[in-house]
Structure formats: C-alpha cells, structure tokens
C-alpha cells in the first residue's frame, strides 16, 4: 500500500515539476483516465508542506533545471511549433474532407440518375412507392 502511494506521489511530483506531461504519466502508470493523474497531483499538492514536497522532488530527481525560466521558454517554443504543425495538418484534413464530401455528393447524383434512367435499385434500398 505504501509503495503504491509513494509511486503515485512520485508521478504527481514529476508532473508538477514539468518533468513529464499528464499523458506521459498516464502511460507510465498504465492509467486510462486523465482524472486519476489529476487527483494524484491534487493529493501531492495537499501535502502538509508543499514547499518540502517540491524540494524533495528536486533534490531526489536532480531535475531542478526543469522548472527554470530557460526550460519554460524552450517548452513554450516547442509547444508553439507543435501547435503550428497541428493547425497545418488540420487545414489539410479539412481540405481532404471537402474533396471527399464533393465526391460523395457526385456519386449520389450519379446513382440517383442511374436508378431513374434504368429503373434499378443500385443501393438495394426499398423505396416507398407514392400512392
């Protein structure tokens, strides 16, 4: 029980210091719900001495540089780059979605024309006859 609690707190401390992301913590801990990691982080923050928790994390792990100003700027630049790439990919996907939508519409028109012209049911859908 203590080992599990210690593991949860260590993971939470690493998330708090920026050493790992929530998604990385989920993978490492084999947790499927982000809320679990968030609850671990909240638990770590509720510790009696939050400053001591942070100090222990930095001393034990040796990742004091992870929360430095320089490191934060690098993370911001990396995230900005990832965001720009994601926006570009999103535009590409929207373009392909529009192309596919147009092709589907064209096919529907052709199918409708063929069904009317040749009196066949291409899609094997039973049409209700107008009375």
Q: Spell out the SS3 assignment of the chain.
A: CHHHHHHHHHHHHHHHHCCCCHHHHHHHHCCCCHHHHHHHHHHHHCCCCHHHHHHHHHHHHCCHHHHCHHHHHHHHHHHHHHHHHHHHHHHHHHHHHHHHHHHHHHHHHHHHHHHHHHCCCCCCCCCCCCC
Determine the pLDDT at residue 106.
Answer: 92
To which residue do tokens 């708090």 refer?
16
User: 50-61 and 2-17 helices cross at what angle (nearest 10)?
Assistant: 90
Q: Tell me: the pLDDT tens digits for 70-119?
A: 577 788 888 989 999 999 999 999 999 999 999 999 999 999 998 899 88
Query: Between these two residues, 71 and 41, which has the higher pLDDT value?
Result: 41
pLDDT for res 128:
58
Residue 103 confidence (pLDDT): 93
pLDDT tens for each residue of 43-76: 888 874 555 545 444 444 444 444 445 577 788 8
Residue 42 has pLDDT above 50, yes or no: yes
Q: What does the pLDDT read at residue 58?
A: 45
Q: How many CA atoms lie within 13 A of 57 on its CB side?
A: 27
Q: What pLDDT, on the 0 to 100 scale, is given for residue 53?
A: 45
Q: What is the pLDDT of residue 3?
A: 86
pLDDT at 20 over 80: yes
């Amino acid at each position: 029980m203590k080992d599990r609690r210690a593991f949860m707190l260590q993971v939470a401390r690493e998330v708090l210091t920026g050493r790992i992301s929530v998604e990385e913590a989920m993978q490492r801990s084999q947790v499927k719900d982000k809320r679990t990691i968030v609850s671990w982080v909240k638990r770590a923050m509720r510790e009696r001495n939050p400053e001591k928790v942070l100090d222990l994390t930095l001393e034990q792990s040796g990742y004091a540089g992870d929360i430095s100003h320089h490191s934060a700027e690098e993370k911001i630049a990396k995230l900005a780059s990832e965001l720009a790439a994601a926006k570009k990919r999103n535009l590409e996907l929207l373009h392909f979605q529009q192309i596919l939508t147009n092709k589907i519409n064209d096919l529907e028109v052709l199918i409708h024309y063929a069904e009317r012209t040749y009196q066949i049911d291409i899609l094997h859908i039973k049409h209700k006859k107008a009375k």
